[in-house]
Chains A and B, each alone.
Chain A
């Protein structure tokens, strides 16, 4: 069992710095997901932790010990790669036993441990097969099995589900969650898929451009995004953003002339004038879902209605700005309608337009 920490961790390739001094503390047994768009430095950070890349500055700690100069084999971490990196010339059994062979594990124990992992992952009937003879999901399991047999201090996952089809991805996600609960091993998981991040993580680390924008539980990053980037990245469909201007009297004008004003005398005096107003699609009400006192009611023009079954997405336009509304399927609106919409102000967010940070 182990804790993992990044202290002002930097990675640079020549003059190009890709990870800018990030700090992170992962607790023992925690499942932490690093999420962000491609090129945000999440994979690089994971690879530095694995020891596949050198650090350019700062420290990596495993169990409070700096491991910057420790060889990958001695860090006691196991990694699952996106393409699984199974050894094509070895059977499933040999693939899983590979690491144990180089750790002076007695033969009998190798067999016990591989069988144990095979049992957990349901791989027993496949042990003599070659990776080529397996389906994508089975290969994924073998890759996880290879990590499990090691009984490492830390599991590292680098986009492990990206090569699977959507349906399989969903079921593997569930299995990974169960597996983590069963083994309780500290896990760092890298993905660009915010749904994976939200569903798997104890805590989500949202990365953007080599910085950590926010660390928090899935609920926290969803409900209280600290930056505009987090607000936009987490959640699907994404959060609605409307331009907002702060007036001297403490009111904020949202959405320009066709928009509305809200009273935000609570925001500090030195806050800038140009703001961004953000609200999740499910916090915008339409038709009979409108309630008293939740917030201002304005008129929007419906562009497209998407019935998704359990709920309906309404894509509308408010004073020329896009507004997405998630509503109940029984709410009847159709394209072209001018409808009344209500914005749930208590669940809305204001960001500094320049810095992108929440006020």
Chain B
């Protein structure tokens, strides 16, 4: 391509490639090649130091028909994903509140946003302390209020662990969603609400018929980011529970980690990764379809 005559168009194309190249290289080496390698690996027997052998669908059969832990992790991932709609609902409520002309609203905005840029490992450690049964703040408060007699070991309990981890995840991401939704809210022209007021729409009508439809692009963005987060929340789970107790908080991502680095079953982990990849792709496509079409592209500027 670079050897073609130096027309203006060719120079432009060369320039575009030059700009694209660094990002494409990173994408290729850290995304495409590992993914392809994973794909190959998932149909093979291999672990470090052992010969490479074709395995066909062996790993997939094991995963789907013999591995209860995989199904538990899958189910847990689905449950953990519920954190996204909950976060969005809370964030929307908060965004509507801090969008009002109240005193100190920028302070509230900052406070609510603050957890998001924190390092997830730090967040995990802080929440582990909060949940701790002997020194944790939550147990202390609950006991002081007389709500419980015995301390609850939230993160070591089969019934509480998943919910507890989800609370931490929601706490961290809610501020980010709030900012996205707040921006969306502020992009809705005030005149639309005034027109609706005169047209006779009451507050709840205005919310359902104007605010929500015009927020759709922002909400969709939150859904996508939330789904990604729930598939990749490795660090939070790992620092808080390590997937335990038992498999109570095991997600696909932590299960993959354990399969590769604890059990050294890289081939099997690769197969799980491929399954997770396709699940994620399906979800993203469905979400895109749902928010897509005309409604997802509402141009508020007009």
Q: Which chain B residues border A77 with CB–CB below 8 Å? A: 198
CB distance from A21 to the nearest CB of B (A): 25
The CA of A77 and the CA of B198, in the complex, are separated in Å by: 7
Q: Which chain A residues border B199 with CB–CB below 8 Å? A: 73, 98-99, 102, 146, 150
The CA of A102 and the CA of B197, in the complex, are separated in Å by: 10
Main SS of the interface on chain B?
helix
Within 8 A of B (CB), among A50-79: 50-52, 72-73, 77-79
A88 at interface (Cβ–Cβ under 8 A)?
yes
Residue in B195, B202, B213 whose beta carbon sits within 8 Å of that of A89 in the complex: B213
CB distance from A33 to the nearest CB of B (A): 20
The CA of A87 and the CA of B302, in the complex, are separated in Å by: 9
The CA of A284 and the CA of B197, in the complex, are separated in Å by: 51
Q: Is the CB of A88 within 8 A of B200?
A: no
Nearest residue in B to A133 (C-beta to C-beta)? B302
The CA of A51 and the CA of B202, in the complex, are separated in Å by: 14
A81 at interface (Cβ–Cβ under 8 A)?
yes
Q: Which chain B residues border A50 with CB–CB below 8 Å? A: 194, 198
Q: Is the CB of A88 within 8 A of B298?
A: yes
A160 at interface (Cβ–Cβ under 8 A)?
no
Q: Is the CB of B198 within 8 A of A88?
A: no
Q: Which chain A residues border B209 with CB–CB below 8 Å? A: 87, 98
Q: Is the CB of A83 within 8 A of B191?
A: yes
The CA of A52 and the CA of B295, in the complex, are separated in Å by: 29
B300 at interface (Cβ–Cβ under 8 A)?
yes
Q: Is the CB of B189 within 8 A of A85?
A: yes
The CA of A89 and the CA of B209, in the complex, are separated in Å by: 9
Q: Is the CB of B200 within 8 A of A99?
A: yes
A130 at interface (Cβ–Cβ under 8 A)?
yes
Q: Is the CB of B198 within 8 A of A89?
A: no
The CA of A78 and the CA of B198, in the complex, are separated in Å by: 7
Residue among B189, B194, B197 with most chain A CB within 10 A: B194
Residue in B192, B198, B202 whose beta carbon sits within 8 Å of that of A87 in the complex: B192
Q: Is the CB of A88 within 8 A of B299?
A: yes
The CA of A81 and the CA of B195, in the complex, are separated in Å by: 8
Q: Is the CB of B213 within 8 A of A83?
A: no
Q: How large is the interface on B (under 10, 10 to 19, 20 to 34, 35 or more residues)?
A: 20 to 34
The CA of A81 and the CA of B294, in the complex, are separated in Å by: 25
B210 at interface (Cβ–Cβ under 8 A)?
yes
Q: Which chain B residues border A98 with CB–CB below 8 Å? A: 196, 199, 201, 209
Q: Which chain B residues border A83 with CB–CB below 8 Å? A: 189, 191
Q: How large is the interface on A (under 10, 10 to 19, 20 to 34, 35 or more residues)?
A: 20 to 34
Q: Is the CB of B195 within 8 A of A88?
A: no
Within 8 A of A (CB), among B178-216: 189, 191-192, 194-202, 205, 209-210, 213-214
A132 at interface (Cβ–Cβ under 8 A)?
yes
CB distance from B191 to the nearest CB of A (A): 4
CB distance from B213 to the nearest CB of A (A): 5
Q: Is the CB of A132 within 8 A of B302?
A: yes
Nearest residue in A to B191 (C-beta to C-beta)? A85
Q: Which chain B residues border A51 with CB–CB below 8 Å? A: 197-198
Within 8 A of B (CB), among A127-185: 130-132, 146, 150
The CA of A268 and the CA of B197, in the complex, are separated in Å by: 53
CB distance from B150 to the nearest CB of A (A): 53
**Given A81-B191, A81-B195, A98-B196, also A89-B298 (CB < 8 A):** yes
Residue in A78, A85, A130 whose beta carbon sits within 8 Å of that of B192 in the complex: A85
Q: Which chain A residues border B191 with CB–CB below 8 Å? A: 81, 83, 85
Residue in B200, B298, B302 whose beta carbon sits within 8 Å of that of A102 in the complex: B200
Residue in A78, A79, A87, A146 whose beta carbon sits within 8 Å of that of B210 in the complex: A87
Q: Which chain B residues border A78 with CB–CB below 8 Å? A: 198
**Given A88-B298, A89-B213, also A102-B194 (CB < 8 A):** no
A103 at interface (Cβ–Cβ under 8 A)?
yes
The CA of A72 and the CA of B196, in the complex, are separated in Å by: 10
The CA of A79 and the CA of B209, in the complex, are separated in Å by: 19
Q: Which chain B residues border A81 with CB–CB below 8 Å? A: 191, 194-195
Nearest residue in A to B216 (C-beta to C-beta)? A89
Within 8 A of A (CB), among B34-55: none
**Given A85-B189, A88-B214, also A73-B298 (CB < 8 A):** no
The CA of A89 and the CA of B300, in the complex, are separated in Å by: 9
Q: Is the CB of A85 within 8 A of B294?
A: no
Q: Which chain A residues border B205 with CB–CB below 8 Å? A: 102
The CA of A88 and the CA of B210, in the complex, are separated in Å by: 9
Q: Is the CB of A52 within 8 A of B299?
A: no
Question: What are some 29 contacts across the A-B interface (CB < 8 A)?
Answer: A52-B197, A73-B198, A73-B200, A73-B202, A78-B198, A79-B194, A81-B191, A81-B194, A83-B189, A83-B191, A85-B191, A85-B192, A85-B195, A87-B192, A87-B196, A87-B210, A88-B298, A88-B300, A88-B302, A89-B214, A89-B295, A98-B196, A98-B199, A98-B209, A99-B199, A99-B200, A102-B205, A131-B302, A132-B299
**Sample of 17 more A-B contacts, CB < 8 Å, known A51-B198, A79-B198, A102-B202:** A52-B197, A72-B197, A72-B198, A73-B197, A73-B199, A79-B194, A81-B195, A83-B191, A85-B191, A85-B194, A87-B209, A98-B199, A98-B201, A130-B294, A132-B302, A146-B195, A150-B199
The 6 nearest A-B residue pairs measured at CB: A99-B199, A85-B191, A73-B200, A85-B195, A102-B200, A132-B302
